[in-house]
Amino acid sequence: MDVNQYLEIFIEESLEHLQELNQNLLSLETNPGDMKTLNEIFRVAHTLKGMAGTMGFTGIANLTHQMENVLDAIRTGNIEVNSSMIDILFECLDYLSNSINTISATGQESSDNANSIIAGLNSMLTKRPETKTDETSINKDPQESKMKFNQYDDNIIKKAAQQNLGVFKITVVLSKDCMLKSARAFLVFQTVERYAEIFKSEPKVEDIEDEKFDNEFTIAIIAKESEALIKKELESISEVAEVIFEKVEVPEEQDIKDITGVDNEEKETFKSLVEEKETGDDVQGKKARMGKTVRVDIDRLDKLMNLVSELIIIKTRLEGVGTDSKNQDMTEAVEYLERITTSLHDAVMKVRMVPIERVFNRFPRMVRDLAKGLSKDIILNMSGEETELDRTVIDEIGDPLIHLIRNSIDHGIEEKDERIKNNKPSSGTVNLRAYQDGNSVVIEVEDDGAGIDIDKIKRKAVERGLLSSSEADELDENSAIELLFKPGFSTADKVSGLSGRGVGLDVVKTKIESLNGLVEVENYRGKGSKFIIRLPLTLAIIQALLVNIGEEKFAIPLNVIRDIIVIEASTIRNVHGQDVVLNRGNVLPIVRISKMLDVKNASSDDNEELTAVVVKKGEKNAAFIVDSLMGQQEIVIKTLGKFLSGIRNIAGATILGDGQVALIIDSNSLI
């Protein structure tokens, strides 16, 4: 069979499964006894095995098969979860993701074999205590049959009793050398169904079909024929070693209450059964939800977005025509068009929105590995994973966050002894928070480490000749922290494998700023530090103020504008070569954009009254002098393309209603 056409689906789905596996392994580590997680891991391993088998990737199939064995042993209680086992399971995960990566790059499975990992898994299995035989013998005892009934089943039993039908539990034991257990089980089911109705089975029917049972299984039936007849029929099936019938009594009304009230153990099992039922429902719910989603190529989404952009441009143009014309119908039609395009834009934007969970997902594992490598205890708290961001931002934000988290763990959080000496809990905490704040999304990386050592930064800066020592003395805390974002600056005393190479914070800053975002730092000496990233919610379409400068038109994003003021030319003072004006009791620096952007014939140069757009960047403000204001408009951001990438002071371009191109001013670089 040619399976190449499925390769892409295989890779995509495998990656999803691995992500799930990663999460579940982490939660298993923190909560080793959680059956729900374990089952989930088992399910993932099993799915991967099936998929890899179909695709002919034997390495993956072998490894996942061995994983199943170990997981099954944990599930049945034969071996216990410990940290070395989690390590090996993580190794499996790494091997699997490497394999998938190789497959996606070359279409072939890599030739590295997983023998050492498989051997590790095997050694886990051999360590298991010899309880297995005992347990099966216990299981054989019909009195101990594991099957419990829930309320739903009880109702069925009651109804059957009303119709005078017998209800039985049948435990079927297959002979030890039975080869095709599921086929035999199928025969048993078929035979029983001729004379009775099966309403429950233990293990579940799906598991029996998958041969996920030892040598026996139990079914609950409502018999239409006599017990003896069914028993005889069943015993005549070959390889069936034993058939044990057990009459089920009709439950009393208060039975359940009794169980919960009297028998604690019973209560436990009852609870776990309910839980199991719930997990089953969960899985089904997931499946149902999956059925309603469609995978869409990102390019198609981008194309759709472009078309919506076009529509908005033409809408803006129509608005201009509409207001000029006196035709009432035209005005109404344009208004209606505007409502539709706005909804369409919102809808398309939503399609492009992805929860930040997708980026956060990889951090628990990363933090775990880092913490182990540095022998620090780190607790990672994440919140706001459901916060949504534009897909383009999501794709870019991962690396900067990795840098920040690494910094926090490596530089921020102190060694264990030092923490204890400083009366701090021995394990450090890193808080990763995401939340929406107005039109932007804020991501915070906070640690409770030593904070940023301002003196150390100054010392390093002097050492590197960035500052003279007298300059360093005068430097305030904020400007010192700014130094951290300079290329090549590192305060680490030793270069570790993690950080300290001096690439990092400058890269973080550049990246965030290229996304029209901001990075701020809050520093609490001795208590920790907090890096705050502020990102625009969407990148593609924004509200902007259009301004005239000379004969040219420029757009300033509305979200950076504080207000618009008129300045008397006579009130402008020159301080240290910088024009400033007093505004609301604060000194406001003046930026003459016409000079920064080489605009010719700007009238604002010699006017008595100047129009200024006050633009904010974090805490700082600046007044941009413009000739006149054109008005607010929804604009579609277009990049200037690779050929013109990285132009100073310009963030992009947009197309106006009349088809002209207007440039978008990058206010961050001008302040």
Partner 1 sequence: METATFARQFVIFKLENEEYGIDILRVKEIKEMMSITRVPNTAHYVRGVINLRGEVIPVIDLRKRFNLTEGTDNNNTRIIIVSVDDIIVGFIADYSSEVVEISSDAIEEAPDGIGSVDQDYISGIGKVGERLIILLDVVKIITNPAV
By CB under 8 A, tell whether 178 contacts partner 1: no
By CB under 8 A, tell whether 661 contacts partner 1: yes
- Residue 167 near residue 221, CB atoms below 8 Å: yes
- Residue 377 near residue 399, CB atoms below 8 Å: no
Contact string (CB under 8 A) for partner 1, positions 634-653, x = contact: ----xxxxxxx--xxxx--x
The one catalytic residue in 68, 109, 202, 634 is: 68
Among 21, 404, 567, 655, binds partner 1 (CB under 8 A): 655
d(CA 502, CA 495) in angstroms, rounded, equals 9
d(CA 307, CA 295) in angstroms, rounded, equals 20
Contact string (CB under 8 A) for partner 1, positions 537-566, x = contact: ---------------x--------------
Is 305 or 567 the residue whose CB approaches partner 1 more closely? Answer: 305
Site for partner 1 in 287-306 (CB under 8 A): 306
d(CA 233, CA 218) in angstroms, rounded, equals 16
Contacts 24+ apart (CB under 8 A), 123-130: 124/70, 124/73, 124/79, 124/85, 124/88, 125/69, 125/70, 125/73, 125/79, 127/79, 128/73, 128/78, 128/79, 129/78, 129/79
Binding residues with partner 1: total (CB under 8 A): 27
- Residue 147 near residue 220, CB atoms below 8 Å: yes
Active site residue 46: yes
SS (H, E, C) 40-59: HHHHHHHHHHHHHHHHCCHH
By CB under 8 A, tell whether 598 contacts partner 1: yes
**Segment interacting with partner 1 (CB under 8 A) among 348-356, 367-375, 537-545, 595-603:** 595-603
For residue 11, count CB atoms less than 10 angstroms from its CB and return exposed for 0-12, middle for 13-18, buried for 19 or more: middle
Write down the least CB distance from residue 649 to partner 1, Å. 6
d(CA 408, CA 448) in angstroms, rounded, equals 9
- DSSP letter (8 states) at residue 109: -
Instruction: State the number of CA atoms in the 13 A half-sphere of 525 facing the CB.
Output: 7
Instruction: State whether residue 563 is helix, strand or coil.
Output: strand
By CB under 8 A, tell whether 660 contacts partner 1: yes
Write down the least CB distance from residue 630 to partner 1, Å. 15
By CB under 8 A, tell whether 354 contacts partner 1: no
Is 484 or 653 the residue whose CB approaches partner 1 more closely? Answer: 653
The one catalytic residue in 17, 29, 40, 46 is: 46
d(CA 191, CA 321) in angstroms, rounded, equals 79
By CB under 8 A, tell whether 310 contacts partner 1: yes
By CB under 8 A, tell whether 662 contacts partner 1: yes
| Alpha carbon 506 to chain centroid, angstroms | 25
Site for partner 1 in 311-350 (CB under 8 A): 313
By CB under 8 A, tell whether 667 contacts partner 1: no
Write down the least CB distance from residue 311 to partner 1, Å. 10
Active site residue 78: no
Active site residue 407: yes
Is 247 or 648 the residue whose CB approaches partner 1 more closely? Answer: 648
Place of tokens 């091997």: 95
Write down the least CB distance from residue 596 to partner 1, Å. 8
Active site residues: 46, 68, 407
Task: Give the residues lining the site for partner 1 (CB under 8 A).
Answer: 306, 309-310, 313, 552, 596-599, 638-644, 647-650, 653, 655, 659-663
